[in-house]
Chains A and B, each alone.
Chain A
Amino acid sequence: MMKKIKYNNLKRICFAALVFMLALGCERDLTEEVQLATFPSIGEVFTDAPVNLTDQFFVSFDPAQGANTEGFGVDTNVAFQGTTSIRIDVPASNDPNGGFIGGIFRDRGEGRNLTQYDALTFWARGSTTGTLGEVGFGTDFLGGQFPVSRSNIQLTTNWKKYVIPIPDASKLVQEKGMFLFAAGGLDVLGDGPNGNEIGWTFWLDEIRFETLGTNLAVNTEILNGQDIVIQGFAGTNLEITGLSQTINLGTGENVDINVAPAYFNFLNSNPSVATVTESGLVSVAGNSGTTIITGQINGIEANGSLEVTSNGQFPVAPIPTRDSGDVISLFSDAYSNVPVRHYNGFFAPFQTTMGGAGSDPNNVDIQGTLPDGSLDNIINYTQLNFVSIGTYDTVPLVDVSTMTHLHININVREAIDPSDFIRLEIESGTFTGSTGNGSFILSSAFLTNPANVNDDGWVTVEVPLSSFSGNIDFSELGQLFFISDATISDIWVDNVYFYNDN
């Protein structure tokens, strides 16, 4: 008895210390703290009936995306505890009313304060050992930031309890997304998702947020635990994905949860190189250099990192100024381009050149951003030995006989040796049975002459057509070749057009 009293006293002292500390710790933010509304902390989601959920109860995924809204109901004949459970009849994958079932339960009020809990738990059983594709909470179809889910839980035909751990409950001060599930038909033949899956039924009961006290995070990951290295110019964006945690439950079982980015605190060693938002969106900034982005949940360091090297502002090509009436363009964002068969013919077996695939000038290797915000499409030829821009066969030959010059911007992405060169070669009459051709050589001296190269490394080539050797018929242009014989292997190409200088 004596000891019990002593214990209680000590408990009070502990509590007093706690209060004292909290009071001190919060002194600065007191006003802010007071303004925070407190939302109900009800843990129950479904017992024998929905607990404080919307009248709608079940909010289905979009039927237009194949969600079947007919299989959801309650069952007063089956229950793990009490009288009633939720019964879900999963449709066959070829059901005309939708091939899967799923949706959410939403809080009927302004949301709940779940900070005292550490898991969502529920009991489930299946008519057979079907798989719940996804189960979780935090999705409210209203932009909720804190979804958590488990994927591919195979049910048993007896009642079993399932746990969805909360990665960091301190985030859940006003949560509306109380439950989420999605399930598809049973792949009896085990031949993969191919439309022959059959329907099955499962029951859910006693869905609630709980304080288990027995969850232990044993692994936390961003980018699936990989150390990813990227480089890019300012304006390059990417998303940090592969966010997950492995939690060891009190049963000793490890469960993997998919964790929304908002649970993570992203750390960024140099924000002038790249920025990262709370939702894990990385944007390369203007300063050259390297930054390392890592993540933490509740102080636990995640495996995986993103090393971003910014190459600075994108070196866009010089912007053409000539009147479009004086120009016939093969590849430029400044002009309408004539139809092109290819920007790389991939001529086997001798051609090694990569890049420039396809015939769409807006779908090429590199897209920089021009000062006005519009895109600068650029061809990046790599492993160059020779390559052509082709205007024959499937598209008309091009008549440039009224033009006087060929204009090209080239940015050589490597050091230029004295013996290096790029030979421009024009072929006329391709596929007509009567071809002509001629060439003009861009020497290493030309390509490195400061008079020809701007600060971003772009060389402006303006060759009088009369300077081309040979017997070219400029009224039926078929191919323009870039030939380096592998002396130069990596170039950017832009603004390839003919113009009339008169």
Chain B
Amino acid sequence: MMRHIKYILGTMAILLFACDLDETQEVATLTNLVWEDNFDTDGAPDPTKWAFEIGDGTAQGIPGWGNNELQYYTDRPENVRVQSGVLEITARQEAFNGSNYTSARLITRGLFQRKYGRFEARIKLPTGQGYWPAFWMLGDDNNGTEVWPNIGEIDIMEYLGDEPTKVFGTIHGPAYSGGESISKEYNLLNDRFDTGFHIFGIEWGPSYINFYVDDVLYQTLTPQDVEEETNGEGRWIFDDRAFYMILNVAVGGNLPGPPSPDTIFPQSMVVDYVRVYN
């Protein structure tokens, strides 16, 4: 009898999952899978798909990663591992190489880059003031000959741990970067982003980027938006080059502010999959 019930429960979970997946397809039109990581092999992330950025940004010439962030990124299993079918990027409160927090930042730079497509990930987020996880993209910098913001940035999902029902999607480019970036917030109704998985994605094509969460398309950005938001100063740079993907959990920094005494460490951003379609 017990076994029977377990089997039924399992079936139900799969069906519910199927429902979830189906919902997302109402807002996305590209369905030809070209790249994916389902995180099915325990251990370190697949090195053919992901590289790491290590440190506090100093080596990269941007201490605090340009935002006064507090974490030191490592590739240690304490901060990043694949386990039970998911990728866990874990932020910890610990003294490490002069920083008080550790975390990880994974990039597909040089391993997978492309222009246009549908980029999406299924993610569960952490809770509490100071957590700043993101799923985002940066434009190729032509072997370091070009610099941000001219290379462009697409933030598919950013989230602050003290606003558990909100995420935001943003683009940065020349004359619309940092505090002047073009952004929209999406507020989840009757649910929150840290108690279950949600799908965050963009569908990006010539002269448009659509941002969606689960089955809701909440923002479309086009060259006209850049024109209007920057009074003609900005330039649409998202038809120029290939972009690579980034997954990271920042701690503290200008946007979220530092963790509060109530913030619980460690916590993880848990990624079920990352998929790219064209």
Contact = CB atoms under 8 A, between A and B. Distances in A.
Nearest to B23: A7
A21 B22 contact: no
Contact of B190 (A3, A11, A20, A214): A214
B8 A252 contact: no
B190 A211 contact: yes
A14 B23 CA distance: 14
Contacts of A17: 8, 11-12, 15
B5 A250 contact: no
Interface in B1-24: 4-5, 8-9, 11-12, 15-16, 18-19, 22-23
B264 interface: yes
Interface in B179-225: 189-192, 194-195
Contact of A214 (B8, B9, B25, B192): B192
Contact of A10 (B9, B19, B128, B160): B19
Nearest to A213: B190
Interface size class of chain B, counting residues whose CB lies under 8 Å from the partner chain: 20 to 34
In the A-B complex, list the 5 residue pairs whose CB atoms are closest, starting with the nearest.
A213-B190, A252-B162, A17-B12, A250-B165, A21-B8
A192 interface: no
Interface string A189-223: 00000000000000000000001111010100000
Contacts of A254: 262
Given A21-B12, A250-B192, A254-B262, 17 more contacts: A10-B18, A14-B16, A14-B19, A17-B11, A212-B190, A213-B189, A214-B164, A214-B165, A216-B127, A216-B164, A216-B195, A218-B264, A246-B262, A248-B128, A252-B160, A252-B162, A252-B163
B129 interface: yes
Interface residues of A, number: 26
B3 to A, nearest CB: 12
B16 A3 contact: no
A416 interface: no
A213 B262 contact: no
A212 B9 CA distance: 26
Contacts of B128: 218, 248
A24 B127 CA distance: 36
Nearest to A21: B8
B240 interface: no
B8 A7 contact: no
B26 interface: yes
B127 to A, nearest CB: 6
A57 B151 CA distance: 66
A13 B127 contact: no
B22 A24 contact: no
Contacts of B23: 7
Contacts, number: 68
Interface string A282-310: 00000000000000000000000000000
Contacts of A212: 190
Contacts of A14: 12, 15-16, 19
Contact of A6 (B8, B22, B262, B264): B22
Contacts of B19: 7, 10-11, 14
Interface of A: 3-4, 6-7, 10-11, 13-14, 17-18, 20-21, 24-25, 211-214, 216, 218, 246, 248, 250-252, 254
Contacts of A6: 22
A7 B26 contact: yes
Given A3-B26, A4-B26, A25 B5 contact: yes
B164 A21 contact: no
Nearest to A254: B262
A172 to B, nearest CB: 19
Contacts of B127: 216, 218, 248
A265 B64 CA distance: 46
A21 B5 contact: yes
A250 B194 CA distance: 10
18 contacts: A3-B25, A6-B22, A10-B22, A14-B19, A18-B12, A21-B12, A24-B5, A25-B5, A214-B190, A216-B127, A216-B164, A216-B194, A218-B128, A248-B127, A248-B128, A251-B163, A252-B129, A252-B161
A326 to B, nearest CB: 69
Contacts of A11: 19
A6 B19 CA distance: 9
Contacts of B163: 251-252
Contacts of A211: 190
Given A7-B26, A218-B264, A248-B127, A13 B15 contact: yes
A252 B163 CA distance: 5
Interface string B160-178: 1111110000000000000
Nearest to B4: A24
A165 to B, nearest CB: 13
Nearest to A15: B15
B277 to A, nearest CB: 16
A210 to B, nearest CB: 10
Of A20, A25, A250, A254, the most chain B CB neighbours within 10 A belong to A250
